Amino acid sequence: MESGIGSRRTLGSRVGAGYGAWDAKWEGCRVEGEERDLGSGMRRRIWDEDGEHQELPALIPAVPQTYIGNVVISVNPYTSLPIYTPEKVEEYRNCSFFAVKPHIYAIADDAYRSLRDRDRDQCILITGESGAGKTEASKLVMSYVAAVSSKGEEVNKVKEQLLQSNPVLEAFGNAKTVRNDNSSRFGKYMDIEFDFKGEPLGGVISNYLLEKSRIVRHVKGERNFHIFYQLLAGASPQLLQQLKLRQDCGHYGYLNREGSNLPGMDDAANFHAMQDAMRVIGFSPAEVTELLQVTAVVLKLGNVQLSSSFQASGMEACSITEPRELREICELIGLEPGTLERALCSRTVKARDETVLTTLTVPQGYYGRDALAKNIYSRLFNWLVNRINASIQVKSDKQRKVMGVLDIYGFEIFQDNSFEQFIINYCNEKLQQIFILMTLKEEQEEYVREGIQWTPVEFFDNSIICNLIENSTTGILAMLDEECLRPGVVNEDTFLTKLNQLLATHKHYESKETQNARRVTDASLPPRCFRIHHYAGKVTYNVTGFIEKNNDLLFRDLSQAMWAARHALLRSLFPEGDPQKVSLKLPPTAGSQFKSSVAMLMRNLYSKNPNYIRCIKPNDAKSAMVFTPELVLAQVRYLGLLENVRVRRAGYAFRQPYGPFLQRYKMLNARTWPRWHGGDRQGTEVLLAGLAFPAEELAFGHTKIFIRSPRTLFDLERRRQERVAQLATLIQKMFRGWRCRTQYQLMRKSQILISAWFRGHRQKNRYKQMKRSVLILQAYARGWKARRTYRKYFRSNASTCLANFIYRRLVQRYLVGLAKNLPPLSVTDRTWPPAPYRFLSDANQELKNIFYHWKCKKYRDQLPAARRAQLQARLCASELFKDKKTLYPKSLQQPFRGEYLGLKQNPKYQKLHAVAKDKLVMADTVRKVNRANGKTVPRLLLLTTEHLVLADPKAAQPKTVLSLSDIRGVSVTRFSDGFLALHLKEVSTVGAKGDFLLVSDHLIELVTRLHQTLEATTGQALPLHITDRFSTRFPKGDVSITVVESPKAGINGPVCKKKGSNKMEVLVH
């Protein structure tokens, strides 16, 4: 690029002792970081005025950032560096600005904290020429702020929307230029708005002058806006078909009919990223489709071809060569093809109340077409920005703080510079002016104003250039507007002539004509051009196109045609096309529009605390690790960095009015804390005197305190932080103490209350108890006294008498009641009324028993003798056998008949009858077991009161007569059989015969009667054994009998089996 700093005044040469952070660093524009000397050949003298030499260290830094004061100088590394990681974000978060290495994050952090903690709106001005890294820096600032501000679902959504506005705006507003593959072709200023806690709430984006001429024309090696390439590369076949596009870039006139693969840029991926970003921001799918449709229309307009035809009148006219593209456009936007064709090929002219339709020539037709494409695109871009703003704007009306980030196109000098470059460079002049004003002029003026001793540092003030361009009467823009509005022949030549006349002697203006007048021969300045000596270099502008671009006119027929389209978005872009709203007033020119928006921007920036990032481009080849000293030197010079360094070095790092300063640091001195009662200045002096800083570090102005080195400021800040921590601890301590004390007092009060109540309660209880006891004692005592006094009057034993009387009365009532209420006489009824009083319960029980016995006796007495005997026999049987022998329950059904033989009736038994006489107890048939073989033989058995007789049934003759006293005992089995063993006493008369084994069908009755009879005669009970194993004495010796339960025994009674000589087995069932 061409370099040179026009009529710059010599900078003052006073180089004071370097201060603070700068001492150890390069005294000019130090490019810091891990420095690597590339050899002396790379060092260049950049400063040789007034005999002072300073060197620009041609160093390629690892961290290509440094500071001048708090201005960050950032050199584009053209390669990705590991210094933008989340760890770095943490490192810089809440850092102390000068205590860490220079970094964009540091300034972002400083600005963010000032905004949050000091409540000052901030702006971050990022300047530098095209390709110097402004846009990247602005993105770094935004991402840093997003990373350090708090997290929450709503906040994250806002942050995401703010960040995602970048890919969308870059797709539509960036393009490849020769200087930068991703050059922003519009200026962007973004206000990020925060709440009082520093949480982002939303933002507003302002855009400035999109370079719309790029839509229809771009030089070789550059590209149109990214979106066209992204759309063609990234859209699906269906989308392309829907938009009636072909994937091939070479098909489109506006893309210069050439393919476009940029190394390191993936258009398709970027397209998808852009679509995702739109979704995040909140674009509806319908909006995205409409947006892409309008984009496609712009692209397709470039392919509408016109050709000349001749009308009947012989006039040349233009017509559409190939109507297909036009038809497709009309299908996309919902318009009658005829309407668009008419609007493209002809024009309605109003002449004295008459409207005439004139045909256009082919160049006019192409002009109209291109103007339409440019207008559609630039309006679409404005719509896009507004749409994004609608999503990210702050919805609540909380109080906000603002951080503005300005990323505007850099200074541009091309081979051929036109209206756009003129406007862009004008904007850069304005920004430079702010920079100068804020960092150089204002600072120096402030020292003088404050009465600080100061040797002025001279610098180049570019107000003269700004004035040359924007002055409202003699400025170039004003003259251009005048030419545009002036009736009569208007072209660029008349405009240039006018400039030459008015600015002939201006130091920053040059043209062929003014050079001629000064007799300068300069072949580099062609005719139809003028040259401005900008702060950043001389730029030669070609006036061709200035008037047309400034007018920015679109034939009304075209805007009306667009308004007539059914496509809602496109239609909304052309409100002036509404025939109802035809206005004859000319719209403001592009130049004046830009001027006023720049003026507004400047006002906005002035109202905020500025932070600067000045970007430097290290080489023209966009390559990493290449450092072109001349190029950098030129930038360092025109950016005014050297003057900046000088002012910073000679001046003070920090200043603040006494009031806020005292307020902020008063806690550092016991005399000023917590309240200072004197003036602010005195307070500050007292405060600083206590801190013992070297005298040269401080200067006391009229209204402000000045601190020379950042180190001192850090020291102050550090002490303040420590003190604040101490104070916070103190407050915490006091608060905790107070809380504990109040808590304790509350507890104590409660405890006293509780114990008072408790004691009261206890005393009351005790008192009641005592009172009760006293009353009892009193009652006893009084009773005793009364009884003693009255005893003589009482009849003795009256109480016993009364008690007996009552007792008797009760007994009497009980007995009478009982007599009236006796239970039934049935013996089975054992009911008895309960005793009415406890003292009667024993008597009652006794009476119950007596009554029961009496009842039984009465029952028994009325029984006939036979029945009574029978019952006695039954009772006896039950005593003998119940629960002992299984036969017993069966016997209950059988009545005890006693006489089963019919001795009286049967004459055959007369003899036996005689034997029994009146003493017969029982007569029955039994079976006698043969003791030798176990077989049985029937026998008649007679039991009399004296004898037991066994007789042969046939002869009816007694065979064996046993005296009852001979019977030793009887053994029976446990089972339901009729087997019994009759044991005889050895000494008896018949004892020699041995024991008898009998089987009786009435065993229970037989044994019972035997027992009864024996008891009645001998007074002794019959020894009865109910057992499974017993031994019998037989004449031939003792035999042991074992009873075995077996089904083999059958129903006819037990089967006896002899087992050997002294064993017998009885099978029963």
Ligand X SMILES: Nc1ncnc2c1ncn2[C@@H]1O[C@H](COP(=O)(O)OP(=O)(O)O)[C@@H](O)[C@H]1O
| Annotated catalytic residue 643 | no
What residues contact residue 459 under an 8 Å CB cut-off, 6+ apart? 9, 11, 436, 440, 441, 640, 643, 647
Q: Which of 66, 70, 130, 592 is catalytic?
A: 130
**What character string, x for contact with ligand X (CB under 6 A) and - otherwise, covers 408-447?**
--x-------------------------------------
Other CB atoms within 10 Å distance of the CB of residue 395: 9
Q: What are 1043's two structure tokens?
A: 């009873």
Residue found by looking up tokens 């024009």 in the block: 347
What is the torsional sign of CA 665, 670, 673, 677?
A: negative
Q: Which of 131, 365, 404, 683 is catalytic?
A: 131
What is the torsional sign of CA 468, 473, 477, 479?
A: negative
Candidates 126-134, 434-442, 456-464, 668-676; binding stretch for ligand X (CB under 6 A): 126-134
Cβ proximity to Mg ion, 182 vs 515, nearer residue: 182
| Annotated catalytic residue 679 | no
DSSP-assigned beta bridge partners for residue 967: 984
Cβ proximity to Mg ion, 43 vs 139, nearer residue: 139
Pick from 405, 308, 323: which is nearest to 365 by CA? 308
How many Å apart are CA 724 and CA 925, to the nearest integer? Answer: 131
Pick from 630, 229, 591: which is nearest to 418 by CA? 591
Cβ proximity to Mg ion, 141 vs 525, nearer residue: 141
Closest approach of ligand X to the CB of residue 174, in Å? 8
Closest approach of ligand X to the CB of residue 499, in Å? 30
| Annotated catalytic residue 410 | yes
Candidates 123-131, 286-294, 340-348, 462-470; binding stretch for ligand X (CB under 6 A): 123-131
Cβ proximity to ligand X, 128 vs 203, nearer residue: 128
Closest approach of ligand X to the CB of residue 637, in Å? 18
Residue 63 contact, options ligand X, Mg ion, none, Cβ 5-8 Å cut-off depending on partner type: none
How many Å apart are CA 404 and CA 390, to the nearest integer? Answer: 18
Whole-number Cα distances in Å, 817 to 76, 108, 615, 839: 128, 114, 128, 16
The answer to whether the beta carbons of residues 688 and 705 sit under 8 Å apart is yes
Give the one residue of 134, 379, 649, 655 binding ligand X; rule: CB under 6 A.
Answer: 134
Cβ proximity to ligand X, 428 vs 514, nearer residue: 428
Closest approach of ligand X to the CB of residue 24, in Å? 25
Give the one residue of 166, 184, 378, 712 binding Mg ion; rule: CB under 5 A.
Answer: 184
The answer to whether the beta carbons of residues 927 and 998 sit under 8 Å apart is yes
Give the one residue of 122, 165, 180, 417 binding ligand X; rule: CB under 6 A.
Answer: 180
Instruction: Classify 266 as helix, strand or coil.
Output: coil
Other CB atoms within 10 Å distance of the CB of residue 751: 10
Q: Does 994 bind ligand X (CB under 6 A)?
A: no
Closest approach of Mg ion to the CB of residue 187, in Å? 9
Candidates 180-188, 222-230, 833-841, 885-893; binding stretch for ligand X (CB under 6 A): 180-188
Give the one residue of 80, 238, 313, 580 binding ligand X; rule: CB under 6 A.
Answer: 80
Residue 130 contact, options Mg ion, ligand X, none, Cβ 5-8 Å cut-off depending on partner type: ligand X
| Annotated catalytic residue 319 | no
Closest approach of ligand X to the CB of residue 613, in Å? 10
Residue 579 per-residue DSSP state = G
Pick from 287, 306, 295: which is nearest to 255 by CA? 295
DSSP string, 416-461: SB-HHHHHHHHHHHHHHHHHIIIIIIHHHHHHHHHT---PPPP---
Other CB atoms within 10 Å distance of the CB of residue 309: 13
| Annotated catalytic residue 463 | no
Amino acid at 774: V
The answer to whether the beta carbons of residues 105 and 140 sit under 8 Å apart is yes
Candidates 181-189, 343-351, 623-631, 690-698; binding stretch for Mg ion (CB under 5 A): 181-189
- DSSP alpha helix (H) spans, 862-980: 865-881, 887-891, 910-916
How many Å apart are CA 458 and CA 21, to the nearest integer? Answer: 23
Closest approach of ligand X to the CB of residue 233, in Å? 19
Give the one residue of 70, 164, 183, 635 binding ligand X; rule: CB under 6 A.
Answer: 183
How many Å apart are CA 281 and CA 387, to the nearest integer? Answer: 9
Give the one residue of 135, 511, 560, 592 binding Mg ion; rule: CB under 5 A.
Answer: 135
Angle of CA points 870, 873, 875, to nearest 5°: 110
| Annotated catalytic residue 206 | no
Q: Does 1012 bind ligand X (CB under 6 A)?
A: no
**What character string, x for contact with ligand X (CB under 6 A) and - otherwise, covers 491-530?**
----------------------------------------
How many Å apart are CA 165 and CA 187, to the nearest integer? Answer: 14
Q: What are 785's two structure tokens?
A: 């006294």
How many Å apart are CA 177 and CA 160, to the nearest integer? Answer: 29
Give the one residue of 13, 35, 44, 78 binding ligand X; rule: CB under 6 A.
Answer: 78
Q: Does 130 bind ligand X (CB under 6 A)?
A: yes
Q: What are 157's two structure tokens?
A: 């959504």
The site for Mg ion, by CB under 5 A, has a size of: 3
What is the torsional sign of CA 425, 427, 432, 437?
A: positive
Cβ proximity to Mg ion, 227 vs 296, nearer residue: 227
The site for ligand X, by CB under 6 A, has a size of: 21
Residue found by looking up tokens 């270099």 in the block: 537
Cβ proximity to ligand X, 133 vs 368, nearer residue: 133
Q: Does 267 bind ligand X (CB under 6 A)?
A: no
Cβ proximity to ligand X, 134 vs 983, nearer residue: 134
Q: Does 128 bind ligand X (CB under 6 A)?
A: yes
Residue 710 contact, options ligand X, Mg ion, none, Cβ 5-8 Å cut-off depending on partner type: none
DSSP string, 271-321: HHHHHHHHHHHT--HHHHHHHHHHHHHHHHHTT--EEEEE-TTS-EEEEES
Closest approach of Mg ion to the CB of residue 139, in Å? 10
Q: Which of 183, 270, 378, 428 is catalytic?
A: 183
Closest approach of ligand X to the CB of residue 361, in Å? 39
Q: How far is CA 971 from the centre of its chain?
A: 97
Q: Does 133 bind ligand X (CB under 6 A)?
A: yes
Q: Does 74 bind Mg ion (CB under 5 A)?
A: no
What residues contact residue 752 under an 8 Å CB cut-off, 6+ apart? none
Pick from 691, 697, 695, 732: which is nearest to 711 by CA? 697
Q: Does 188 bind ligand X (CB under 6 A)?
A: no
Candidates 79-87, 323-331, 724-732, 793-801; binding stretch for ligand X (CB under 6 A): 79-87
Candidates 176-184, 494-502, 636-644, 767-775; binding stretch for Mg ion (CB under 5 A): 176-184
The answer to whether the beta carbons of residues 928 and 997 sit under 8 Å apart is yes
| Annotated catalytic residue 130 | yes
Residue 439 contact, options Mg ion, ligand X, none, Cβ 5-8 Å cut-off depending on partner type: none
**Residues in the chain, how many?**
1069
Candidates 76-84, 113-121, 645-653, 941-949; binding stretch for ligand X (CB under 6 A): 76-84
Cβ proximity to ligand X, 121 vs 181, nearer residue: 181
What residues contact residue 141 under an 8 Å CB cut-off, 6+ apart? 104, 107, 108, 111, 124, 126, 405, 613
DSSP-assigned beta bridge partners for residue 529: 542
| Annotated catalytic residue 135 | yes
Q: Which of 211, 412, 443, 483 is catalytic?
A: 412
Pick from 126, 139, 213: which is nearest to 182 by CA? 139
Q: Does 136 bind ligand X (CB under 6 A)?
A: yes
Q: Does 20 bind ligand X (CB under 6 A)?
A: no
Closest approach of ligand X to the CB of residue 431, in Å? 13
Phi-psi category of residue 442: left, alpha or beta, with phi > 0 → left and psi -120 to 50 → alpha: alpha
Candidates 9-17, 141-149, 175-183, 910-918; binding stretch for ligand X (CB under 6 A): 175-183
Q: Which residues are known to be catalytic? A: 130-131, 135, 180, 183-184, 410, 412
Which residues lie near Mg ion (CB under 5 A)?
134-135, 184
Which residues lie near ligand X (CB under 6 A)?
76-81, 128, 130-136, 180-184, 410, 615
